[in-house]
Structure 1
Amino acid sequence: MLNQIFDSVFLDSKSTINPGMLILSIGVSLLLGILLAAVYKYKTLYTKEFVITICLLPSLIAIIIFLVNGNVGTSVAVAGTFSLIRFRSAAGGAKEILSIFIATAIGIATGMGLLLLATAFTFLLSAMLIIYENTDFTKASQTRRQVIITVPDSLDYEYLLEGIFSNTCTQVEFSSLKTLSKKKALELIYVVNLKAEISDKNFIDRLLDYKHDIEVSISRAATKKKVL
């Protein structure tokens, strides 16, 4: 009786899905998804919806792998569906994308019956994520800043900034220049390493002391840009 659930409605096609293996695969996928979600939540600002997604995505992928089961036509249809979802979805953060990839890998492995492999690499990657979160290797520099300066387009900004940077920074890297036609201004982006004794406020004050009609913005993390 149970096997009849997995019989195709088409008379000339029979499902080859093993109900017991499917249930076991889904169960392992759910447990590994919960583990992955718990690791993702560690030291991360998260949403309830995304955590639920991470918990259930491996099971969904596992079911899809079971349904494909070597059928080339079904595989192409599934690939097309995921392509549509990809281009209709908003881009996420790097950690979110990594979690999605891990969840997908879990689902593929469990769907293929590689339960031990799925469990092993899930525990390994989870451990590595926690280790990286707690080591200095991945911590942002305490003195490195992205500086955005908006100046009038008539200002000789190179002469102005050269003197300020030499007194406040140990390293300066010019990133980009953008014209703001409506404001008749230029937007300059630099990546700098501030000297240990120079605070963010002190750096801004020195810029404003030279020129009061400029705008300055400082951030510790580089502004994310959308690229193809």
Structure 2
Amino acid sequence: MPKIFESVIGTNITIGTFLICIIAAVAAGFLISILYKATHRKESVSQSYIMSIVMLPGIVSVIILLINDTSKALGLAGAFSLVRFRSVPGDPKDIAYIFFAMAAGVSCGLGYITFAAIFIIILSAVMLVLNAFKYGMPDTSSMTLKITVPENLNYQGLFDSILDENTTSWHLKRVKTVDFGTLFDLVYSIELKNNVDQKKFIDSLRTLNGNLNVTLILYKYDDQIYAK
């Protein structure tokens, strides 16, 4: 096997090998953070999460280097890296990036710098291709629809035809009176087709509800009051 595929760590850890491993791990974290930003261009990203991705491989590599027992080092590094997701619900892809950064850190911590570089290049290329082709993107968007209607309007079945035309599925989640009973708020859970013009969809609903409020909300930004 060529020497570039061998571990840079010998029987004893020197200052030189320690610095090589840490610098390589930090560089790996930086590259993974760039990949994360590239695959989340249309989404808001957290600066703290980006910084965590940069730091994580370096932290994991230090733990691997300083603890002789590799299994114990991996367990400790995993506990530290996933502590954030024990209290805050995380996107599965975000958690996968945590494991990505951990794997790069472990490779660097064990001294296999070349393997870490190849691993990052291959997985980054795969992620960029999948993101470019929008692999796995659903044909619909899960949304919450709130329609306000006057009290004298019989809303039962009124919006069914419009909902059937523009969604793949829908159901009425809640009906609530507002403004001392003068209005009704209807809350629907819908699977809106991605090719639907949302403005035209809302306008068609407004022609039936007396031009009162119509609100369309993505599930993850849904106001908690609608779920109560």
Same fold (TM over 0.5): yes
Alpha-carbon distance, 1:116 to partner: 2.6
Aligned to 1:8: none
Q: Describe how 1:63-212 pairs up with structure 2 within 5 A.
A: 63-70=62-69, 81-82=80-81, 84-88=83-87, 90-93=88-91, 95-137=93-135, 141=139, 146-151=143-148, 157-166=155-164, 168-169=165-166, 171-174=167-170, 177-178=173-174, 180=176, 185-193=185-193, 199-212=197-210
1:129-158 CA deviation, whole Å, 9 max, x = no partner? Answer: 2222322435665x7573512456987645
- Helix, strand or coil for the counterpart of 2:157? helix
Output the CA distance in 1 between the equivalents of 2:123 and 2:171: 34
**Aligned residues between the structures:** 204
1:190-214 CA deviation, whole Å, 9 max, x = no partner? Answer: 11327x6x63222112111111376
Matched, 1:40 2:42: no
Give me the identity figure in percent. Answer: 20
Aligned to 2:5: none
Runs of 5+ consecutive residues of structure 1 not aligned to the other structure? 1-15
Aligned to 1:223: 220
Output the CA distance in 2 between the equivalents of 1:52 and 1:80: 18
Output the CA distance in 2 between the equivalents of 1:137 and 1:78: 31
CA contact (8 A) 2:146 2:187 kept: yes
- Helix, strand or coil for the counterpart of 1:124? helix
Output the CA distance in 2 between the equivalents of 1:35 and 1:75: 22
CA contact (8 A) 2:142 2:189 kept: no
Output the CA distance in 2 between the equivalents of 1:33 and 1:74: 19
- Helix, strand or coil for the counterpart of 2:32? helix
1:40-81 CA deviation, whole Å, 9 max, x = no partner? Answer: 222524454443332222111110122232177777666655
Give the aligned residue type for 1:188.
Y
Alpha-carbon distance, 1:84 to partner: 4.5
Q: Describe how 1:41-56 pairs up with structure 2 within 5 A.
A: 41-42=37-38, 44=41, 45-56=44-55
TM-score (norm 2): 0.67
Residue 99 to residue 162, structure 1, CA distance change in 2 (3 Å): same
Alpha-carbon distance, 1:97 to partner: 3.3
Alpha-carbon distance, 1:122 to partner: 0.7
